[in-house]
Amino acid sequence: MSRTLLSGNEAVARGAWEAGVAVGVGYPGTPSTEVLESLVRYDSVRCEWAPNEKVAAEVAGGVSLGGRRTLVTMKHVGLNVAADVLYTQAYTGVTGGLVYLVADDPGMHSSQNEQDTRNHAAAAHVPLLEPSDSQEALEYVISAFRISEAYDVPVIVRMTTRISHAKTLVEVGERSEMVGSSYASHPPKFVMMPGNARLRRIDLESRMTALQAYAETASENRVEMRDASLGIVTSGIAYQYVREALPDASVLKIGLVNPLPDRLLLDFRSRVERLAVVEELDPYLTLRLKALGVDLVDTGLPTIGELSPMAIAVAFGGEVPATREPIPDLPPRPPLLCPGCPHRGIFHGLAKMRAIVIGDIGCYTLAALPPLKAMDSCVCMGASIGMARGMELVGSADRPVVAVIGDSTFAHSGITGLLHMAYTGSCATVVVLDNRTTAMTGHQGNPVSGVALGGDPAPAVDLEALCGALGAASVRVVDPHDLDATLAVLKHEVAQDHLSVIIAKAPCALIVKEHKDPFAVDEESCTKCGACVRLGCPAISYDENGRAVIDTTLCVGCSQCVQVCRFDAIVQVGPSCDIGGV
């Protein structure tokens, strides 16, 4: 049978399809996003983006209640949002199989924090499977549906960035169609009020006890005996690193991470001379083994960030091989707002006003970096609005406080914050950056942009009417590329004694198909004042004489730099000549 190269996320989608899922639902978040983007391409599966992970988990809960299999996807922090749903779904259990695909991001490649979802599984009393490559991702998702139905419990499949985004070879199978049975009410199982919940709480414990017995022989937990002088207990991507770094070591590879197979762990301990745990992030396996009284080799491996084959080799006494010397003094390359990004216009204005900018998560968070340096905080999705209300309550001397939030983030968890502001008589100013897409995670549609998962048109919320209905006294729409008009509206609204929302509406530069002609700097007129460079546009830099210069292959003609130039030194030129030597 021929094998296909699939990313971990594509393999999860394939597994879900083969398992006969009826519905896939989730909210984008790196590194989980491609699961649904891939699943939507299969026939016979309905896929939807929800406005946030909690809604997604609830939709999935409904599908399960209705008797069909469903996959719900999110990144690690998304499970915090959906946790309220999951922790009680553990009590109710399922009708159709219910699987959570949760992708962690050790090392924070694209996240605001680092979390270990294994802890959520233990705390919620739900099983968790962790694959170590795409083949296992496919197989474990199928197992997860089976376990979910057999043990009447939602199951988490935990991925990490290196599993989600690595492509490895996969043997794919065919779909098993699952037919749901007709719906029958069962309130003692599904209506979680105290009397019922107490009984389900006890029932959950017995389900987990049964699962623990299953774990002892589950095919997902595998002993690989090699040299018995060293045994390693490991899971997920760490397994691959161990195999690379310590090819002779015996390994107990844990695939079913919650509940853990105590007897298997103790048995493996007895078969090797020394036992060590190699795991990424929290000491989850380590603590269990210690609780079992097992003596472990202290590896000194970090519990922060990603592991690597070399880190493991060195921890076990390997030598660091000679490598080439790094070339010194290389400038770092942080990510940055794209040429023509509409967000730049708002932050330019806010920086001019010396506003305290209570920010949020999305591409626009990059405005915190120099040269714009126009953001004071970013915590979690939706936090900008509530935090701005808090800042308003303690006052901010002479600087205006402005909350700034993206359109997808506003739909995710900003609406309730605005409702709070209206309810409590706030006079704050909230800017919604409506760039018609969820840009940061790769341009997914959302309820504001009116694009469905898969790209079809969908009903779009009327943002102005929504903000007005929530209680904003004034709702203004601005074009953030028009710098003067934007600044004027910002200044006006922060001075008002009422709650204002400013909607900065202009599409993300990466979704605009037809760009305007690029601009260039007229050398004669440039006074080297640097105003255009301070916009932080990747197309603009200084030449060797300190004059501004525009890379016409990057410029998309947004004209923001033209507006900040007081010397009319930036002029439109024809379409960028093909390449390079411009």
Ligand X SMILES: Cc1ncc(C[n+]2csc(CCOP(=O)(O)OP(=O)(O)O)c2C)c(N)n1
Count of residues that bind ligand X according to CB under 6 A: 25
Say whether residue 37 binds ligand X (CB under 6 A).
no
Binding flags for ligand X, 361-400, as an x/- string (CB under 6 A): xxxx----------------x-------------------
Task: Give strand pairing partners of 232.
Answer: 251, 276
Q: In this structure, are residues 34 and 7 in contact, taking their beta carbons and an 8 Å threshold?
A: yes
Is residue 575 part of the contact set for other proteins (CB under 8 A)?
A: no
7 strand-pairing partners = 167
**Residue 486 touching ligand X (CB under 6 A):** no
Q: Is the separation of the CB atoms in 501 and 475 below 8 Å?
A: yes
Contacting other proteins (CB under 8 A), which of 197, 427, 485, 533?
533
**CA-closest candidate to residue 96, choices 50, 144, 52:** 144
- Is residue 167 involved in binding other proteins (CB under 8 A)? yes
Rounded to whole angstroms, the Cα distance separating 259 from 204 reads: 13
How many residues touch other proteins under the rule CB under 8 A: the total is 63
Q: Which amino acid is at 237?
A: I
Asked whether position 340 contacts ligand X by CB under 6 A, the answer is: no
Provide, rounded to whole angstroms, the least separation between the CB of residue 357 and other proteins. 19
To 5 degrees, how large is the angle CA 104–CA 369–CA 362?
Answer: 45
Mark 263-302 with x for binding to other proteins (rule: CB under 8 A) and - for no binding.
----------------------------------------
Q: How far apart are CA 164 and CA 12, in angstroms?
A: 9
The CA distances from residue 208 to 18, 101, 122, 212, 214, in Å, are 26, 20, 10, 6, 9
- The contact mask relative to other proteins for 234-263 (x = CB under 8 A, - = no) is ---x--xx-xx-------------------
Residue 336 interacts with, from ligand X, other proteins, none (CB under 5-8 Å by kind): other proteins
Cα separation, 496 vs 474, in Å, equals: 9
**Which residue of the chain is nearest ligand X when measured via CB?**
406
- The CA–CA distances, whole Å, from 279 to 110, 308, 515 equal 21, 11, 48
Stretch that binds other proteins, among 11-19, 265-273, 328-336, 414-422 (CB under 8 A): 328-336
Q: Roughly how many angstroms between the first and final C-alpha of the chain, as a whole number? A: 52
Q: Which of 317, 331, 425, 574 binds other proteins (CB under 8 A)?
A: 331
Among 194, 300, 370, 574, binds other proteins (CB under 8 A): 370
435 binds, among ligand X, other proteins, none (CB under 5 to 8 A by kind): ligand X
Query: Of 291, 304, 285, which Cα lies nearest the Cα of 232?
Result: 285
Query: Rule CB under 6 A: which of 285-324 touch ligand X?
Result: none
513: left (phi over 0), alpha (psi -120 to 50) or beta: alpha
Which two three-digit tokens encode residue 124?
A: 């919620």
111 by DSSP, 3-state: which? coil
**CB 61 within 8 Å of CB 465:** no
CA–CA separation, 525 and 40 (whole Å): 53
For the beta carbon of residue 456, count every other beta carbon within 10 angstroms: 9
442 binds other proteins per the rule CB under 8 A: yes
CB-nearer residue toward ligand X: 168 or 444: 444
The CA distance from 56 to 25, in Å, is 6
Q: Please pick, from the candidates 80, 212, 308, 559, the single residue that binds other proteins as defined by CB under 8 A.
A: 308
Question: Nearest 5°: phi and psi at 251?
Answer: -135, 135
Say whether residue 5 binds other proteins (CB under 8 A): yes
Among 69, 125, 162, 207, binds other proteins (CB under 8 A): 162
The smaller minimum CB distance to other proteins, of residues 197 and 314, is found at 314
Query: Site for other proteins (CB under 8 A): which residue of 178, 538, 562, 564?
Result: 538
Provide the minimum distance between the beta carbon of 64 and other proteins in the complex, in angstroms, as a whole number.
Answer: 29
Rg (CA), the chain: 27
Choice between 338 and 569, CB closer to other proteins: 338
Tell which one of 160, 426, 437, 486 touches ligand X (CB under 6 A).
437
Helices assigned H by DSSP within 380-494: 383-394, 407-409, 415-423, 463-470, 483-494
Please state, in angstroms and rounded to a whole number, the distance separating the CA atoms of residues 5 and 15.
14
What is d(CA 566, CA 454) in angstroms, rounded to the nearest whole number?
A: 45
- Is residue 72 a contact point for ligand X (CB under 6 A)? no
Q: Verify binding: residue 89, other proteins, rule CB under 8 A.
A: no
Distance between CA 520 and CA 188 in Å, rounded? 71
Phi-psi region of 107 (alpha: psi -120 to 50; beta: other; left: phi over 0): left
Pattern 86-125, ligand X, x by CB under 6 A: --------------------------x-------------
| 429 contributes a contact to ligand X by CB under 6 A | no
Residue 434 C-beta: closest distance to ligand X, Å? 8
* x/- map, 346-365, ligand X, by CB under 6 A: ---------------xxxx-
* Nearest CB to ligand X, comparing residues 172 and 380: 380
Q: Which residues bind ligand X (CB under 6 A)?
A: 27-29, 53, 75, 77-78, 81, 112, 361-364, 381, 406-409, 433, 435, 437-441
Q: Which residues bind other proteins (CB under 8 A)?
A: 3, 5, 30-31, 33-34, 109-110, 133, 161-162, 165-169, 237, 240-241, 243-244, 308-311, 321-327, 329-338, 363, 366, 369-371, 440-442, 530, 533-534, 536-538, 540-542, 553, 578-580
